[in-house]
Amino acid sequence: MNFSSRLLENAVNEFSRLPGVGQKTALRLVLHLLNQPVADVDRFSEALKKMKHEIRFCDTCRNISDTAICDICSNPKRDKNLVCVVEDTRDVMAIENTNQYNGVYHVLGGLISPMDGIGPSELNIESLVQRVKSGQLQEVILALSATMEGDTTIFYIYKKLKEFPVKVTTIARGIAFGGEIEYVDEITLGRSIATRVPYENSFLK
């Protein structure tokens, strides 16, 4: 692109480094900001900087937090015996939105993915083992994506925790709410039959 200004070009280049943002979109966003009041752009710029410099990760669960111990871990009403292992903070949000879970979390910060060069040591797995070792936990729920990376990570963590007296569970896989049998893929359908649930325990009542 032929930019008439280096300042404009720099801002566009920074935006276009973001995932899914091309040069044209970046230019549109930058020109939008150029039309906004100075105070708004300063606030945007400041919010980013502050976020990056001041955000920390909860000492216990490694979730994004403003404080040393996050709100969930420090909430006396949450069940500290039950820990749900998730990939990242988006999954914590998703599970919190269900209003079905009252335990605490452990955020791995990713999944094992040899293709992307992410091994177990890059993830917060050792700190999970330490939490289990401390003996307080009764159950570890592995709520990881149903992908190859998720399954690999589940298997790795399961092996690591096998020696401890803790129950290790994974979230149920099966047909989704509203799913019609004829359109469900065969792996999901097969597994949903293999892991069928007694009607009394199915929450369909």
Question: Which residue ranges make up the site for a copy of itself (CB under 8 A)?
Answer: 1-8, 10-11, 13-15, 17-21, 25, 27-34, 36, 38, 40-55, 58, 63-66, 70-72, 88-90, 92-93, 96-97
Q: How many CB atoms lie within 10 A of CB 125?
A: 21
Q: Shortest distance, CB of residue 197 to a copy of itself, whole angstroms?
A: 28
For a copy of itself, give the closer residue by CB, 14 or 163: 14
H helices of the chain, in order, are 6-16, 23-34, 38-54, 89-98, 126-133, 148-161, 186-194
Least separation in angstroms between CB 117 and a copy of itself: 14
Closest to a copy of itself by CB, 109 or 174: 109
Contacts of 178 (CB under 8 A, 6+ apart): none
What 3-state DSSP class applies to 4? coil
Minimum separation from the CB atom of position 171 to a copy of itself (A): 19
User: Rounded to 10 degrees, what is the CA torsion of 99, 181, 154, 138?
Assistant: 40
What's the closest the beta carbon of residue 152 comes to a copy of itself, in angstroms?
Answer: 21
